[in-house]
Structure 1
Amino acid sequence: MRLVPIENVRPNTVLGKSLYDIDGRILLRAGVVLRENTIAKIKQINILSIYIVDKYSDEEVEDIIKPELRQKAIITIKEAFSNIGRLNKTKPEKNGENDYTWQEQSYFYNIGKMAVNLIDDILNHKDVMLALVDIRSMDNYMYSHSVNVSVIALTIGMAFKLPKKKLEALCIGALIHDIGKSLLPKEVSDKQDQLTEDEKEIMKQHPRLGYKYLSSTYNINSLSKLIVLQHHERPDGKGYPDGISQDNIIDLSHIVSVANAYDNLSTDVPGKRAMFPSDVLEYLMSYAGTKFDYNIVNTFCRIVIPYPKGTIVEISTGEIAIVEETTPGFPLRPTVKIIDGPRVSNIGIKIDLIKEISIVISRVKYEI
């Protein structure tokens, strides 16, 4: 199966991955044949890309976490963020500290439990390579993004062989890294159009707002709180909110910074399509040492799979090929099989792009 923008999906296409609504209920199950009216309804609920099965790619793309766990994690974050934002609009502060309700403490407890479940699920996964298969509605974007960032961050943390307690702090910090956005004015946090300069400055307050909000709770590890505060800081000191540099940023914050950037750049949003996979990795590598920690980018680029098995690509020879395998350490140089092109004799030939260094992937193809 392969991920295709919804505008490229044609009637009578088979759905490859189940679709969920904003509350985690299944809307359409994998295997259903999509009719024209169904495709139109998918567009209406702001799902921008879906997985399809066709004659070129019928093998399942396995998520690094179970689909039901992903949906449960999204709902856990949604309940916490939406209710924390609502509760804090009416709740006074006492002595400059938050007076947490039992509801808020229960949200922190549930997030901690969810972090343990995510870690255990990923540790049980047979492959540490990261190929994201998240399909998200823009109505659930922030919550899906939080879960994706946690999964990416955990994969990086495991590559560094971090102990489990540190992985828990990393996962919790990644899950709640944007909690400060729930405390911003709705007209800024929910705006889908481009922000004005004043709105951008308001948005930049979310790390400090989140950290201040969490400062008094005993249910969140101090390392996780620092992730919330520091996930937009940069090694060169040009980040925010404090403009601190490399040595003053904890390693877990550096990890979440890379995970956050990768998910943002590789995701479709209204008015902006996801960057081409190779461009995302090149972006990260070009800013390694300035925007992002060099060692973390270097490790991440060895474990990510920008072209999952089944992806249809055009290669620099002008031929169309399907990705068959990715070798660890060489994410942009998979093995591909030619399925179409000007030379019929080449159809079916496999090319290992690690060996054929003069050939590169030009772009992902959605229609053939």
Structure 2
Amino acid sequence: MRFMPVVYVREGAKLGKHIYDDDGRILLKKGATLTKKILNRINEMGIRSVYIDDEFSDTELEDIIKPELRNKAISAVKETFAHFEKFSRYISENPMQNKHQIKKLNQKKDEYLQFLGKISEEIINDILSNKHVIVNLIDIKSTDNYTYQHCINVAVLSLVLGIEMKLNKGELKNLCLGAMLHDIGKTIIPKEILLKNGKLTKEEFEIIKEHTTKGYDYLKTSIDIPGTARIITLQHHEKVDGSGYPQGLSDSEINKLAKIVAIADVYDALTSDRPYRQAMPPNEALEYIYANGGSHFDFEMVKTFSSKIIPYPIGTLIKLSNGEIAVVEDIIPNFPLRPKIRIISNDNGKVIDLMKEKNLVITGIQYEAPAS
């Protein structure tokens, strides 16, 4: 199967991966024929890209964690964030707070956070059970559920990096928990700012920046969230050169786990469709991460992260420097930018090992199949 924007999908193509609704139920099953009506409905849901199976690509790409666990985690994050919004609304609308109501809200908060702690352990165990974890799937997100899906994907990506860095089990749990909660403060940012189709004003960006401190303040009184997990919510937008926010910290001043989440956060955001822009292909997102290694991100972490990402999964159509179109046939371990490919833009179907053909390079992803 291959990932492609809905605008490029031909009628009659087969869906390569289930599409879920906002409650985690299967909305459209893998294998469904994509008619014009169905494609329009997918688009209306705010889903801009899908996986398809076609004559060039019918290889199954496995998610890093089980779909049912991913959906369970998304639901838990959604409920936790909704409670934060309710809590914040009560505080702002009731200057003379009722102590009994505050206690009740705090108890409920602790229940949600305890449950997320258990889910963190499940996700870690699920990933650790796979001895050769690589990232070759982009998670498909809907507009309404984007924040919750994004938080789970950032947690998974962070764990992939954390495991490769040989973090211990306690650090991994704090990393996962902090990553799942890193954007909780965005719940109370006005949607017209979060989803603005255009450049933010200086005032709007200042409001966006508040999500780090507001999320941290909500979590800092909870004994169920260790300090190193809480600090991720505060520091995941700090940059190693000191140009980040909210405190302008640099390099060693930034918590190690927050540095990890910063990389995963940006990678997932770049490869996600948003109302104001189309998703960036994995190869371009990796180039962006690499270009900012040492300034925005810890460079050693960037190198480790890049080794776990497959920018051109099996089944991807690619453009070559000689003008030909090819499909990726096999991935070479430790050399994801030099896969084995099969030419499809002519009739010879030649298979090429890019590890051997040094003068030939991939110039980008091709979404439309060449005319037969």
Same-fold call, TM cutoff 0.5: yes
Does the 8 A contact of 1:62 with 1:133 survive in 2? no
CA deviation profile, 1:99-126 (whole Å, cap 9, x unmatched): 5532211110111111111111111124
Of the structure 1 ranges 235-244 and 327-336, higher mean CA displacement relative to structure 2 is found in 327-336
Does the 8 A contact of 2:84 with 2:187 survive in 1? yes
2:147 corresponds to which of 128, 132, 142: 142
Does the 8 A contact of 2:61 with 2:137 survive in 1? no
Secondary structure of the corresponding residue to residue 182 of structure 1: helix
Return 5+ residue gaps in structure 1 as ranges: none
Distance in 2 between residues matched to 1:213 and 1:106, nearest whole Å: 14
Name 1:69's counterpart in structure 2: 69
Name 1:293's counterpart in structure 2: 298
Distance in 2 between residues matched to 1:239 and 1:259, nearest whole Å: 16
What is the one-letter code of the residue matched to 1:13?
Answer: A
Does the 8 A contact of 1:303 with 1:328 survive in 2? no
Going from structure 1 to structure 2, the CA distance change for 1:103 and 1:138 (only over 3 Å counts) comes to same
Offset at residue 170 of structure 1 (A): 0.3
Distance in 2 between residues matched to 1:75 and 1:122, nearest whole Å: 19
Distance in 2 between residues matched to 1:211 and 1:265, nearest whole Å: 24
**Are positions 1:117 and 2:118 aligned together?**
no
Distance in 2 between residues matched to 1:143 and 1:193, nearest whole Å: 23
Name 1:205's counterpart in structure 2: 210
Going from structure 1 to structure 2, the CA distance change for 1:248 and 1:282 (only over 3 Å counts) comes to same
Q: Counterparts of 1:242-281 in structure 2 under 5 Å? A: 242-281=247-286
**Are positions 1:12 and 2:12 aligned together?**
yes
Name 1:332's counterpart in structure 2: 337
Offset at residue 275 of structure 1 (A): 2.2
Distance in 2 between residues matched to 1:232 and 1:218, nearest whole Å: 24
Name 2:219's counterpart in structure 1: 214
Distance in 2 between residues matched to 1:237 and 1:252, nearest whole Å: 17
CA deviation profile, 1:220-239 (whole Å, cap 9, x unmatched): 01100111111000111111
Does the 8 A contact of 1:150 with 1:174 survive in 2? yes
Secondary structure of the corresponding residue to residue 144 of structure 2: helix
1:239 corresponds to which of 238, 244, 249: 244
Offset at residue 216 of structure 1 (A): 0.4
Of the structure 1 ranges 270-279 and 7-16, higher mean CA displacement relative to structure 2 is found in 270-279
Distance in 1 between residues matched to 2:152 and 2:237, nearest whole Å: 17
Offset at residue 195 of structure 1 (A): 2.9
CA deviation profile, 1:15-40 (whole Å, cap 9, x unmatched): 11111111111111111112221111
Q: Counterparts of 1:145-160 in structure 2 under 5 Å? A: 145-160=150-165
Does the 8 A contact of 1:116 with 1:168 survive in 2? yes
> So what's the TM-score if we normalise by structure 2?
0.93
CA deviation profile, 1:280-318 (whole Å, cap 9, x unmatched): 222211211110001100111111111111111111121
What is the one-letter code of the residue matched to 2:364?
Answer: R
Secondary structure of the corresponding residue to residue 84 of structure 1: helix
Name 1:317's counterpart in structure 2: 322
What is the one-letter code of the residue matched to 1:224?
Answer: A
What is the one-letter code of the residue matched to 1:70?
Answer: R
Name 1:359's counterpart in structure 2: 360
Q: Percent identity?
A: 44
Of the structure 1 ranges 79-88 and 60-69, higher mean CA displacement relative to structure 2 is found in 79-88
Does the 8 A contact of 2:267 with 2:285 survive in 1? yes
Of the structure 1 ranges 330-339 and 70-79, higher mean CA displacement relative to structure 2 is found in 330-339
Does the 8 A contact of 2:134 with 2:308 survive in 1? yes
CA deviation profile, 1:250-272 (whole Å, cap 9, x unmatched): 11111001101111112221231
Does the 8 A contact of 1:313 with 1:320 survive in 2? yes
Name 1:50's counterpart in structure 2: 50
Secondary structure of the corresponding residue to residue 90 of structure 2: coil
Does the 8 A contact of 2:195 with 2:275 survive in 1? no
Distance in 2 between residues matched to 1:65 and 1:272, nearest whole Å: 27
Q: Which runs of 4+ in 1 moved over 6 A?
A: none
Return 5+ residue gaps in structure 2 as ranges: none
Does the 8 A contact of 2:47 with 2:273 survive in 1? no
1:104 corresponds to which of 99, 106, 109: 109
Secondary structure of the corresponding residue to residue 344 of structure 2: strand
Offset at residue 186 of structure 1 (A): 4.4
Secondary structure of the corresponding residue to residue 57 of structure 2: coil
Distance in 1 between residues matched to 2:28 and 2:6, nearest whole Å: 14
> So what's the TM-score if we normalise by structure 1?
0.94
Does the 8 A contact of 1:45 with 1:137 survive in 2? yes
Q: How many residues matched? A: 362
What is the one-letter code of the residue matched to 2:151?
Answer: S
CA deviation profile, 1:114-149 (whole Å, cap 9, x unmatched): 111111111112422112241111111111110111
